[in-house]
Each structure stands twice: as C-alpha cells, then as structure tokens.
Amino acid sequence: MRTVAVTKIGSLRDPDESTRGRIGVVDFPEQPLGPEDVRIRVAYSAICGSDPHLAEGFFGTDVPIGLGHELSGVVEELGERAHRNGLRVGDRVAGNFLRFCGTCRPCQEGRQQFCEHIQDYNRPGMAETVTWHESQVYRLPDDVSLLKGCLLEPTSVAVRIADKTRIRVGDRVAICGGGPIGQLALQVMKMHGATSLTMIEPIADRRAMARRHGADYIIDPVNEDQDAVAGEITGGRGFDVVIDASGSTRAVRGLLDIAAKGATVVYGAMYPEDYELPLNLSNHLYLKELTLTGVFVSPYAFPRALQILPHLDVEELTRSVFELEDAADAFAMHVSGRYPKVVIRCNDLEEVRR
C-alpha cells in the first residue's frame, strides 16, 4: 500500500541538499482489520505544520516514518463488531488519528490526552487506506465535502485551543500566526464570541486572509512596533487571551508582554525541543497573574469540531492539492509557504452518497 513517509531525517528547509530531509512514497503493508476496526479508503490527507518536525526526527529517527493524520475518506470495510456508531460501508468519514483507550488511569480521570496507549492506533494516513478503531471515526455531515472533511482534525485543535482560552464575553483576543491553525482558531474564536480579534502575522497574504475571515485588527510584527500597536488596540491594557499558533520562537518571545493582567496565553503549536521561553516570574506571573498553557492533542473536541465544520470557510485552505505520487513536491510547496495548507489526494473518490 503506497504511503507517504519521511525517508531521510533532516530539516526540509535545509538549503544543503546532501543533509536535507526527504519525503517519499513507500510501500507499507495494510494494517490488519480488528473486530472493532474500520478500514477507510483515504480521499484527502493534508500536510500539517507538525510534519516537518517529524522529518527532523522529533518523534524518532527510524526511517521510513509514515505521515498523515488530517484525513477524510470512505468506509471500505468494517470489523464484525464495529457497529456501535452506526457506521456503514460507503460512509464519508474523517476522524481522530489517536485512539483513547478509555481504560487506563488518565482516560478514567477525564484526561484522555495523556492516555497511556495513545500511540496504539496512530497509523500513517497519507496512504491509500488507513485502519482505525471505530471510536476514532466520525461520519461527515452531508454538506461537508471530502476535501473540507480532511480539516476535521486541525479544526479539533482549534476547538481545543478555544477550550483552553477560557474566554469570557467581551475579552480581547490576539492570535499569533496566520497558518491553518491560526486561521481556524480565528474563525472559532469569532464564533466563540470574540468581538475584538487581532491577527499577528508577518506574511501579507495571511494577514489579508485573516481580515476576510473576521479579524478586526492585524499586526505586522516585522514592520510594526508590536507592543505599540497592541497598546492602541487594547487601550494600553493588553489582550485578555493570547493564542500562539505560529510555533515560531521569534514570534512567541513578545507575547507575554502584550498579554493583559490576568490573561490566558495558549501555546497552540509545536516548538523546538531545546527552546526555552524567557519568563519574568515577577512581572509575568506575580504582577500580571498570567495563565500559561499549551495544547498537546485534542481530546473531547471532535464532536464539536464536526458540529462547526459546516460553518467554517476553509476554501482558501484547500486550494493546493497534489496527487499521492507527487508527495515530495507537495511537501516542497508546503515548505515554500505559498499556500497556508497543502492537501494530498490519496484516492480519487467520487463524492457519491451526499
């Protein structure tokens, strides 16, 4: 079964071709279908901002490393007991690449993100098929296309980010980073009642995109004085909620300074393993009582992500589509930053049964 994988560890941005990481299409065996499993013929699988980190060896260096966790597809086969969700062969679905076992202590304590068996079903979905436990699979609403459906997982991350902001009515919100998670978080926070929404983003196209989707203010952190503009927007108080969706060590540096007293700062990205954030305990935690938090994965968020997906405008996140065999080109496009999101078509599935 053709699967997109990291075939050589290294930075995909390395200008030196001899040390650059490499993406290729390899042949992996199809996963076995257990009695509670669902085999999905994958339609679309989107490249995630975390994928280049995998190429750098963040989660291990044994190549090939299969990729793909943002996917949609059609149910091809059901295990004999996989009927608790009413799934049927032919259903258009998307889902959670992680299975929360429900049995371990963290699962029992309502903290599925720390499930001790979280990797058991984490299988590469940038492939012809993927086999998941039925608890990971969600039927797409009729008005959500398979192309849009592959964004269910990143939408779940935006929902989880929104949960962790603990936003109150009237809060001023800033989002740093206008990539896919930042753009989705923007729409989700708008839905969540943010009436003052600021996007901080160095790329003009992404600032413009944020404007089109509800940003009230934008800050260009490279050519503007971020602190000064944030002060103008918030009357000198700072933002009540600050979300980082950039994963950029340069960008996160100034975020604690534009956070208001009592603000919540959510780090909603992946960061280099060796990066340490400068934190002034007296200023940031004692005087300002900031709450700093992060997002690892998105438990309890998928049903709500499914609920809001029809209401999100993601057309601009699904414009760049590559065929499976052109995965290396797709990743080159992703790294170029020309499109906020790049999608791979793993099978050409007609959109029947709408």
For the CB of residue 104, give the shortest distance to Zn ion in the complex, in Å.
3
For the CB of residue 120, give the shortest distance to Zn ion in the complex, in Å.
9
Sequence-separated (6 or more) residues with CB below 8 Å from residue 187: 158, 213, 214, 312, 313
For the CB of residue 296, give the shortest distance to Zn ion in the complex, in Å.
12
Nearest to 4, CA basis, from 158, 103, 92, 127: 127
Nearest to 113, CA basis, from 300, 304, 293: 300
Choose between 171 and 316: whose C-beta lies nearer to Zn ion: 316
Piece of the chain touching Zn ion by CB under 5 A; list 41-49, 81-89, 162-170, 321-329: 41-49
Does residue 328 interact with Zn ion by CB under 5 A?
no
Interface map 78-117 toward Zn ion (x if CB under 5 A) = -----------------------x--x--x-------x--
Does residue 181 interact with Zn ion by CB under 5 A?
no
Nearest to 219, CA basis, from 261, 279, 172, 187: 172
Q: Cβ distance 176 to 243 under 8 Å?
A: yes
For the CB of residue 47, give the shortest distance to Zn ion in the complex, in Å.
9
Choose between 104 and 203: whose C-beta lies nearer to Zn ion: 104
Does residue 343 interact with Zn ion by CB under 5 A?
no
Q: What kind and span of H or E run contains 105? A: helix 105-108
Does residue 54 interact with Zn ion by CB under 5 A?
no
Choose between 82 and 107: whose C-beta lies nearer to Zn ion: 107
The residue count for binding Zn ion (CB under 5 A) is 5
For the CB of residue 51, give the shortest distance to Zn ion in the complex, in Å.
8
Does residue 270 interact with Zn ion by CB under 5 A?
no
Interface map 115-144 toward Zn ion (x if CB under 5 A) = x-----------------------------
For the CB of residue 34, give the shortest distance to Zn ion in the complex, in Å.
17
**Distance (Å, whole) CA 30 – CA 201:** 41
For the CB of residue 118, give the shortest distance to Zn ion in the complex, in Å.
7
Count of other CB atoms within 10 angstroms of residue 254: 15
Choose between 290 and 317: whose C-beta lies nearer to Zn ion: 317
Choose between 75 and 107: whose C-beta lies nearer to Zn ion: 107
Choose between 107 and 159: whose C-beta lies nearer to Zn ion: 107
Sequence-separated (6 or more) residues with CB below 8 Å from residue 100: 107, 112, 115, 118, 135, 299
For the CB of residue 163, give the shortest distance to Zn ion in the complex, in Å.
17
Phi-psi region of 301 (alpha: psi -120 to 50; beta: other; left: phi over 0): alpha
Choose between 87 and 184: whose C-beta lies nearer to Zn ion: 184
Token pair of 149, please? 């459906």
Q: What kind and span of H or E run contains 176? A: strand 172-176
Choose between 49 and 202: whose C-beta lies nearer to Zn ion: 49
Give the side-chain half-sphere CA count within 13 A for 280: 10
Does residue 48 interact with Zn ion by CB under 5 A?
yes
**Distance (Å, whole) CA 237 – CA 110:** 35
Choose between 101 and 332: whose C-beta lies nearer to Zn ion: 101
Does residue 185 interact with Zn ion by CB under 5 A?
no
Does residue 33 interact with Zn ion by CB under 5 A?
no
Distances (CA, A) of 89 to 29, 44, 76, 97, 207: 22, 18, 5, 19, 42
For the CB of residue 3, give the shortest distance to Zn ion in the complex, in Å.
17
CA angle in degrees (0–180, nearest 5) for 194-159-157: 130
Enumerate binding residues for Zn ion (CB under 5 A): 48, 101, 104, 107, 115
